Every structure is written in structure tokens, then in C-alpha cells.
Structure 1
Amino acid sequence: MKDFVRKSGIRYMSDKQSAIGVFDSGLGGLTAVKQLKKILPDEKFIYFGDTGRVPYGTRSFETVNQYADDDMRFLLGFDIKAAIIACGTVSAVALDNLQKKFPLPIVGAIEPACIAAAQRTKNGNIAVFATPATIGKNSFATTLCGINPDLSVSSVACPMFVPLIEAGYIDVDCPVTRLIAREYLEKLQNADIDTLILGCTHYPIIKDLVASCAKELFGRDIEIIDSGYESALAAKKMLLQKDLLTDLDGQGSVQYFVSDETQNFSAVASIFLGEAAQNVTKVTIG
């Protein structure tokens, strides 16, 4: 049994069999859930998608911090043993505040992706696609250069990706999304990048589309880093280190909560997950 105590004196108790909380501004975090289910198949997950207030990436830092606090408090109601922030914007803007305020282990989406990119780049030229809020905090560039000061980092704000993905424009041949992807990639034509971090957990759903557009534009393949996958690997490592991995086999499950209507979530979520999303509940947040 783990006994977590907040500075306020509120006590949170958890153990190996408790669930892991995962939250995002909307559907994007489901890319992380998909990977988490593969990497940690016996764990129980509580997923909250703030679909009523998506997107976070164009909000002020103050608003993002408030929303993140709301999301975390909701998940804590389930006596979770750890939390995964499956949102690049929240990881950039609010992770430090959340880790100071809530004593349970919290994994963000930025550092794991940066470590992977720094390890895989061959020429040291890395690009980051992320939301305007994430780019505004410069968190990816700061983290990457902290890992290796010799890296060259090019950051591109991609405000149109989340609305397009949430609306279902995700097919690899979708002309609208390809047009937008090429527009963002064209900003990197002189950067000689060999590695691209998809710095928002929505973006891996169009990973193949981005890769295809990049090859058309640059004439070669580039390494693409999936922040959701890297976060899932980091979560497993953290749980192992803290002796929080469940010791029950075959008990894996996911409960889904959203802050807007569930019908559209269920339909689009099946695309993100590769399977139907069961147990979806609408809740009021904030």
C-alpha cells in the first residue's frame, strides 16, 4: 500500500492493484491508451478526455493550468496509483505545477519523446510538431538541448491538426490534411532534419500521412517519434522502479470518461484505438 500525502494534508492511498489515470484535452490521448494496453496489458486505466473544452493548444497558459488541475482532481477520485498526461500542451505548460501539487507519480509526454529523438537522430537535426501553446513554452527544445546541447531543434506550431483529427480527417490520402501537413513541413525545408517529434498525442493518428508528405517534400524517409508510445514505455519503467506494477494477470481494463456527448467520442475513438471504446461516461468537469 502506497500512502501519498499532499501539502494540504489530504491523503491519497493507492496500491499495485489501483488504476492508472490518463488524461488529454480530447481524443488524442487515446493513441497513448492504445500503446499502454499493449505495453501494460494487465493494468486498469481510467481515461478522461476533456472533449467539452478541446482544444487546449490555443488556450492561455493560465487556462491550461486550470483545466489540468480540474482533470487531475477528477482522476484522483478513483484512487489512482499514477497519472499519465497524454497531452503535449499540458505536459509543456502544467506538468511542473501538477507534480508539485499532487504527490503521486506523474508521467508527461515531452521528456520521453525527447530522449527517444536524441537517441535516434543521426545528424542532430530534430524538428517538433506541436500545438501553439506547447511551442510557446519551448519545452521540447529546452528538454532536447538539456539532453544534448549540440542538437539543432526546429519547432513548428500546428494549430490545424487537432481540429482536423477530431473531425475525422485522418485518412492518409485526405487532401485537406495533406495540404496542411505540407504547409507545416515546408517550414523545415532548410533545416536538414532527420527526426520529427509528433509533440501532441493527437498527431500519431496521422503519422503515416505526415511521413508520406515528408518523403514527397524531402525526397527521403525521416524518423518520426510517437510521443504516446514513448510515454507508455516511460510509464512502464516508472511503475517498475516504484514497484507499482500490478501482480494480477488478465485483469486489464479501461474506463472512459468525457466532458461532452459520448456518441461521437465512441465513433471516433474506435479509429484511434483500433477497437470499440466500451464503458464511456459523460461527466461534468470544472
Structure 2
Amino acid sequence: MELRQRALQGLQLTDPEEKSALAVDLHAQAATLLIAPDARLQSAAPLPGHPERPPLLPHTAVARRSPATREGRAALIHAIAHIEFNAINLALDAIWRFAGMPRQFYLDWLRVAAEEARHFRLLRQHLRAHLGRDYGDFPAHQGLWAMCDKTAHDIVARMALVPRTLEARGLDATPLIQHKLRSVGTPDALAAVDILDVILREEVGHVAIGNHWYRWLCERRGLEPVAHYALLAQQYEAPRPRPPLNAAARRAAGFSDAELAWLECG
């Protein structure tokens, strides 16, 4: 079956393991996949498909816990796992929703979906093996998907405000989380640091893909990327990054000095 249709079917799946497996398996077939960029697809089911657990609460209702305790570390890893699960959905949604893009656009987001699936599996296994918990054991929120839904009609806004805004926040936050876990120093905390090393390295590539396609779209439409980003951030009430910025990771992901200066000064 054609990639974009398969991505839509994957997005509708509710079982985390099935969704993860589909993303990884599709990526393994990338070289031979049929892609119909001009097909206009529609979903007959609500999106995205998600499991009965975890319960989904407003962002402000999800309590934060100290990683100094085992339960707090389990809640932290669960929160990151939920972000990675949502990131699979974000990548699959970009594939099926936006017609008329080059073949490489769809292959890039397929790579992202597969890597996010591997991240989710690493974190879920860590919860099970080291912390006696599983995905679904703590409440979660849908902050990432909310912006995905708001930008469903505009691919430029999607590229600007999901990968290079919301997901880019992970580039800043991950080193701070790793520092806290190293300070705890328990075997499970240090094992989590190693997993986050893998995630951070690959997330740089994901944000770079968002930056590439945002700039490609701006060039095609005659838009100035920095100025247009400021307009989109205001229009969609995108969150500002929390300092300190991980400038090295953001530069590696393709942010220019002008963009970094805008983000830092607001």
C-alpha cells in the first residue's frame, strides 16, 4: 500500500506497540515504497488514535515530581515517553496530511517517525525494567498534538511551530534533565541519561528536518523566514523557549544566529 495511506492508518492505531512497529517497519521499506504526493486523503476516524491509558489531562493538571525519588523518576521517564509517543503521531500526520511535497519530504518524516518509535520503546523498556512501571501508569497531556491540530490547514505553520518550536524545546531541556539524573546517581538514573543521549542526538536531526522544510517552503512562497516565524508565533500563541537555550544543538539543527538572537531576546 502507498506510504501516505499507511501513515494515516498508523496514526489511527491506538496500541502503542502496533503504532511503533508500523513506523519502524515502514522505514525499513523506504527504498521501495510507493508515494502518491498528490493524493488528497481524508480520515474517517478521530485523530490521533491513542490508548485508553494514560489518562489525558490539561497541561496544568499534570503534577511534576522530584527525580530524587524512584517514583519521581518513573513519572519523569513516563512524561518523556509520552512526548516520544506523540512525536510518532506528529511525523505520521505530516506524511499523510500535506499533499504536493517532494518525495524526500515524506521520506524525511518517515525517518523521524521510526526514530521516535525507537525512542518510545527505549523509554518504555526502561520503565518496565528499572522502575517497575509501564506506559499508561501516570496521567499525561496532549500539548504537542494541540499545536499539530491548530496547524493542520497550513504546512508552513506546521513546520515552523511543531518541529522547530515545540520539539526544539527538547534540545534545551534534555541536558538539564540529564544533569539532574546524574546528580541522583542511581543505576536507573544513569541508564536514563544514556537513553537521553541517544534521543538528544537524533532529535537534533529531527529539528533540522523541520528547519529545512520550513525554509524550503518560505523560499517557494517568497517569505522571509525569521520575520514570518515571528508572525506565526504570535498568531498561534506559540510558547517561547525557556532559557538557557542549547545554542550548540540548535545551531547543529540549522538555526541561524539571527534566529537564535530573536529567540533569546524575545
TM-score (norm. length: structure 2): 0.29
Q: Considering fraction of residues, name the structure with more strand.
A: 1
Q: Considering fraction of residues, name the structure with more helix.
A: 2
**Higher RCO, 1 or 2 (CA under 8 Å, sep at least 6)?**
1
TM-score (norm. length: structure 1): 0.28
